[in-house]
Amino acid sequence: MNGPVVNKRVAEATALRGFFQDQWEHLQRLTSDWQNKKAREQEEAQRISSAVESIVEATDSRIRGIGGYQKRLRSSARKMLDHIQGLVMNFPPAVCVGRVAVVRDPLARRLFADRQSVQQIFREDSGIQAYFRSGEHADKEYVYALLFLLRHEKNIFGAEMRGEIIVKEVQQTSVVFYGHQLHAPGPDEAQVRSAMMKILFDNVIRHIKHQMTGLRHGQSEEEKKMGALNPERNLNNPAVYVDMLVEQMSLPGKLIKLQDELIRVDRMGIKLPLKSNATSDVLHLYEVEIGEDHSRVAAIVRYPRSEFHCLSMKGSV
Q: Do 30 and 140 reside in the same domain of the chain?
A: no
Per-residue pLDDT tens digits for 124-174: 999 999 999 998 988 999 999 999 999 999 988 766 656 666 666 667 899
Residue 99's pLDDT band (boundaries 50, 70, 90)?
Answer: confident
Residue 258 lies in a domain: yes
Residue 224: predicted pLDDT: 65
Cα–Cα distances in angstroms (integers) from residue 192 to residues 144, 259, 267, 302, in the given order:
7, 20, 31, 11
Structural domain includes residue 81: no
3-state secondary structure of 42: helix
Tell me the DSSP string of 260-312. Answer: EEEEEE-TT-BEE-TT--SS-EEEEEEEEEETTTEEEEEEEEEEEHHHHHHHH
Mean pLDDT score of the chain: 83
Q: For residue range 26-79, list pLDDT tens digits in order.
A: 667 767 666 666 666 577 778 888 888 888 888 888 888 888 888 989 999 999
Looking at the fold, whether 42 and 154 belong to one and the same domain comes out as no
The answer to whether residue 79 sits within a structural domain is: no
Q: What's this model's pTM, rounded to 2 decimal places? A: 0.78
My answer on whether 275 and 194 are in the same domain is: yes
Predicted confidence band at 317 (pLDDT cuts at 50, 70, 90)? Answer: very low
Residue 80 lies in a domain: no
Give the residue-averaged pLDDT of 191-212: 92
Structural domain that includes position 298: 89-316
Query: Structurally, how many domains does the chain consist of?
Result: 2
More confident residue, 270 or 226: 270
**pLDDT tens, residue by residue, 276-289:** 888 889 999 999 99
117 neighbors 149 (Cβ within 8 angstroms): no
| Residue 73, in any domain of the structure | no
- What one-letter code names the amino acid at 269? G
pLDDT at 313 exceeding the cut of 50: no
Residue 14 or residue 49, greater confidence:
49
Residue 195 sits in the same domain as residue 55: no
Pair (38, 142) in one structural domain: no
**47 and 184 co-located in one domain:** no
Higher pLDDT, 181 or 294: 181
**Residue 143's closest CA among 131, 158, 134?**
131
- Cβ–Cβ < 8 Å for 271, 264: yes
